[in-house]
Amino acid sequence: MKGFSTSKALGAVRGCAVALLFSSAFLPAFTGGVLSRFGTAQVSALLLCAGLATCAAYAAGGGELRRPPKPLMIAAAVFCIAIVIAMLRADHKLSACLTGTQWLGQLVMLLALVMLAGEGSLRHLLVAGLAGTALVVAAYSIHQYYVGLPALRDVLSSHPELKQQFPEALGQAFERRALLTRRAFGTFITPNSLGGLMLLGLPLCACSLWTAIKRRNRSATVLCLVTVIGVGFALFLSKSKGAWLSAIMASAVVGLVLLWRGPKAAKARFSVGLGALVIALAATVFLGAKGFPGAHQFAKSFQVRADFWRGAWELIRQHPLMGHGLDSFGDLYPSVKLARAHETLNAHNDFLQIWAEAGIAGLCGFLGIWIAAIAGLRFGQEEQANIRFPLDLSAATLVILGLGIVADGRYDILPFVVLWLPAVYGVWVAIRSSRAARIAAGAAIVAYLIHSTVDMNAYVPGVAQPAWAVAGAAVLFSGGARTEPTRFTRPGRVGIVIAALLVIALLAPFEVRSLVAAGRLEAAAVHWQGTGEPREAGTRAARESIYELEKVIETLPYHDGGYARLGAAYALLHERGEEFLGKRQTFDLAVAAYGKAIVLNPESSANYASLARLYAKGAQAVPSRWEEAADAWYEAVRRYPTDPRYRLYLARSLKEVGDVDEALIEYEKALQLEKIVGHEWLVLSEVERREALSLLESIPTR
């Protein structure tokens, strides 16, 4: 009886750990992501920490675990070391810490899932859970496209002032994506990220539907059909051309593999299908190159990405071995950007960006993990597994997901979460065949990797985290992990517990501070919206924003963005005539805040530009500050040489300090760049253009 009780207790602990890990894998897709990636994955990371703690308790109690395959462990070790080095090279920049902890957490989640979820019902549930997640987000996206966004457009068209309620970056995203391009983006900011998630879930849903039809299971067929239609339609509404092409290419790759390994009778059908797909892909590219209406958008998107890839390659050539440091691409790209190219924070190619930031070791480790995940997949015939649907574990996962969604504040998606459990059940029933599950997991990974060559999947938690979970399922289905569980010896159990506690000690405090800082930042943004009010109300809003931002910096002292926003708030007080805040001058406080932001992120041209604007405004009272403004503008131009506005402002400062020859050169460059820039907001205004032309005529050449 004692042994039976111990076994039951260990089983309950294991089930709790698996539910927490599953929730950590799926939650980011429900909560999506924001452009800054700050405050997006903290709840998921805390769920991961809770899962690791439960896993450590299970191992300490003598529970059985599976050993991950050696190739996966080697690749994981290489990737982990490369990411840690890249974080150190970034010199504690906050965005680097966020990205690094995100990737390390995903890697730990993958290994923990491989060790815990090797049982048939659990690994099948992992695949079905992603399909259910894709359906929930798809249903929300369809509702958003046909109900939510039209209502939002009507409200904003009749009340334009409401746009000010959105943060600046978020407002630009709504303006470009929701109001102009009319694309569904679901829980994400960009439609391409929605396309990436749908592309990851569609192969799982399609494979389960095919299997349900073959087995003549009506209930599973209906549920899987609804899932396929919903996910496929959401992929269509995202209007992500990269996701569409990736779906075609992934279908061709998987079809070729099945054609090579499948029965002879099916080769003719596969050949016809593959031929049609290849012809469709070639026709799309050809029509796009010829400028055919609609199809030319494919060629345009490719050209935009080609400019990004060129910039990434230039950065790789500068430091091919060690990389520039994690999350440095967005700050360094302007220094190598073509004038015609668009601005971007990501290379839209995960492999090039990881190489540019983490060096060749980071790229090899990243590729090695995915190769190890799919290398052992076999597609031979196999009978349906006789396993029971784990309703208790599914329900526990759903409850944890609901709590995580509430904690993240995404209440609008909660009504759609009820679709998760029936979708999971339908896919799970259909995909109990190990062969079907292997094909589904392999197809999903192939689609994800192909799409990663044209987008930024690895940098969006809502897409990357489920993909790493599917990689764990692929490892389990490939037989790479030992079929039989292993009861570790006492030193092994101690090692597992120490490793889990070490990861928790590294992740949990940082994620908690990030959550607190995210709340403070949101409060500061709300107060900042009130700075446009009349003088007294606007000044009071700026002071309240400063209070919240100071709390953010106390929580995360290396938050360069917090210092930049704090500098803007001090500068606003100075413009409104508030010379002192306490015993210190607001101008000096603004200079100090911008200076700290530059120290924490010296490659950001925006930080130097903000400091230069501050000096230029201060020069109206103290003319000697024009020299400091010119120095700051010079640093901004050095980091972003193709921005015509920076050139114009540098020329203005040089003119004020008497350097006429250099001012003339910069005015000419500003006018030349203004004709070929790739973004409308980089174009000079009519007033600035007239200023440059008039000054070119008035400045005597030497």
- Tell me if 194 is assigned to some domain: yes
The tokens for 515 are 């959550």
Helix (H, G, I), strand (E, B) or coil at 34: coil
Helix or strand (DSSP H, E) at 584: strand 584-585
pLDDT of residue 468 exceeding 90, the answer is: yes
The more confidently predicted of residues 529 and 503 is 503
- Give the span between the Cα atoms of 107 and 90, in whole angstroms: 20
pLDDT of residue 42: 74
Taking residues 396-412, report their average pLDDT. Answer: 83
Digit-coded pLDDT (tens) for 222-260: 999 999 999 989 988 888 888 887 887 777 777 666 666
Helix (H, G, I), strand (E, B) or coil at 121: helix
- Give the span between the Cα atoms of 322 and 362, in whole angstroms: 9
Torsion angles phi and psi, residue 433, rounded to 5: -70, 125
Taking residues 196-217, report their average pLDDT. Answer: 86
Q: How far is CA 692 from CA 33, 340, 476, 645, 673, in A?
A: 41, 21, 65, 11, 13
- Give the span between the Cα atoms of 292 and 138, in whole angstroms: 30
- Tell me if 539 is assigned to some domain: no
Helix (H, G, I), strand (E, B) or coil at 293: coil
pLDDT of residue 364: 95
Digit-coded pLDDT (tens) for 589-618: 999 999 999 998 898 899 999 999 999 988
- Tell me if 426 is assigned to some domain: yes
First and final C-alpha spacing in the chain: 99
Digit-coded pLDDT (tens) for 66-92: 888 889 999 999 999 999 999 888 876
The tokens for 653 are 């400062």
- Tell me if 567 is assigned to some domain: no
The tokens for 64 are 């059985």
Query: DSSP of 348-364, one letter per residue?
Result: S-HHHHHHHHHHHHHHH
- Tell me if 566 is assigned to some domain: no
pLDDT of residue 181 exceeding 70, the answer is: no
CA dihedral 204, 192, 523, 598 (to 10 degrees): 120
pLDDT of residue 314: 94
- Tell me if 538 is assigned to some domain: no
Tell me, what amino acid is at 106?
Q
pLDDT of residue 430: 84
pLDDT of residue 169: 44
Question: pLDDT band at 297, cuts 50/70/90?
Answer: low
Other CB atoms within 10 Å distance of the CB of residue 261: 10
Helix (H, G, I), strand (E, B) or coil at 616: helix
Question: pLDDT band at 577, cuts 50/70/90?
Answer: confident
Digit-coded pLDDT (tens) for 40-67: 567 788 888 888 888 888 888 877 788 8
- Give Cβ neighbours of residue 672 (< 8 Å, ≥ 6 apart): none
Selection from 365, 462, 451, 423 nearest residue 26 by Cα: 462
- Give the span between the Cα atoms of 23 and 208, in whole angstroms: 22
Give me Rg for the CA atoms of the chain: 27
- Give the span between the Cα atoms of 238 and 245, in whole angstroms: 13
The tokens for 676 are 């070929």
Helix or strand (DSSP H, E) at 585: strand 584-585
pLDDT of residue 387: 67
pLDDT of residue 681: 53
Q: How far is CA 693 from CA 656, 668, 678, in A?
A: 17, 9, 22
Mean pLDDT for the chain? 80
pLDDT of residue 280 exceeding 80, the answer is: no
pLDDT of residue 679: 57
- Give the span between the Cα atoms of 216 and 544, in whole angstroms: 64
- Tell me if 626 is assigned to some domain: no
State how many domains the chain has.
1
Q: Looking up tokens 């208790």, which residue turns up?
A: 392
Taking residues 212-217, report their average pLDDT. Answer: 84
Other CB atoms within 10 Å distance of the CB of residue 691: 17
pLDDT of residue 164 exceeding 70, the answer is: no
pTM: 0.87
- Give the span between the Cα atoms of 83 and 325, in whole angstroms: 9
pLDDT of residue 702: 45
pLDDT of residue 167: 47
- Scored b (16 or more CB within 10 A) or e, 609-628 reads bbbbbbbbbbbeeeeebbbb
pLDDT of residue 480: 47
Range of the domain at 303: 2-146+185-503
- Give Cβ neighbours of residue 533 (< 8 Å, ≥ 6 apart): 541
Q: How far is CA 691 from CA 621, 634, 684, in A?
A: 22, 20, 10
Selection from 297, 357, 272, 332 nearest residue 82 by Cα: 357
Share of the chain above pLDDT 70, in %: 79
Q: How far is CA 97 from CA 101, 337, 458, in A?
A: 6, 25, 15
Digit-coded pLDDT (tens) for 478-491: 754 444 566 667 77
- Give the span between the Cα atoms of 192 and 198, in whole angstroms: 10
Question: pLDDT band at 695, cuts 50/70/90?
Answer: low
- Tell me if 262 is assigned to some domain: yes
pLDDT of residue 522 exceeding 80, the answer is: no
Digit-coded pLDDT (tens) for 88-143: 888 767 788 888 888 888 898 998 888 887 666 788 888 889 999 999 999 999 99
pLDDT of residue 267 exceeding 70, the answer is: no
Taking residues 164-175, report their average pLDDT. Answer: 50
Give the total residue count for the chain: 702
Share of the chain above pLDDT 90, in %: 20
pLDDT of residue 36 exceeding 50, the answer is: no
- Give the span between the Cα atoms of 539 and 545, in whole angstroms: 10
pLDDT of residue 513: 82
